[in-house]
A = this chain, B = another copy of it.
C-alpha cells in the first residue's frame, strides 16, 4: 500500500496542476472608496473549448473514512474547475500526472483560506474534506460535449 502524505499547498508546488486561489502573495489594490481591498485575477478560467461558458455551483461535501482509499481519479478535458471553501477549515487535494503511475500522485493540505483551480485535463480526486457539511463555491464549464473522464485506480493508494 502506498501512503500519500499531504504537503502544504503552495502556488509553486501546485503549478503543474493549476492555480492556488489565495490572497497571500496575490496582487492587491484598494477599491470602493477605500472600503475594500481586491486580490485580483487569481485564476485562469478556461472554459471556452467547444463553445463552453462559465458555470457556478455550490458543493456540500462529507468526509470519507480515514485512511482514505484513493480508488478513482477524474479529469475535465474541456475546462478548468475551481473550488473555493466557504468555511475556514483545512481540506485536501489529491492530483496525479497519470492515474496508472503510482509515483505520480501528490497530496496537498489546503488551508480554509485557499482554493484551487484545476487546469484542463488534470487528474484529480473528487472533493476530500475532514468536516461534515463542508461547502465550496465551484466555478467550471457548462456546454455541450463530454467534460468528464473517470478512471479506476488499480494500485492500492491511501491518504492519511
Contact = CB atoms under 8 A, between A and B. Distances in A.
A60 B60 CA distance: 24
Q: Count the copies.
A: 2
B56 A35 contact: no
A45 B53 contact: yes
A82 B54 CA distance: 12
Interface residues of A, number: 45
A118 interface: no
Instruction: Count chain B CB atoms within 10 A of each CB in A45, A56, A82 and give the residue with the most.
Output: A56
Interface of A: 21, 23, 26, 31-33, 35-43, 45, 47-48, 53-64, 72, 82, 84, 86-88, 115, 117, 126-127, 135, 137-139, 142
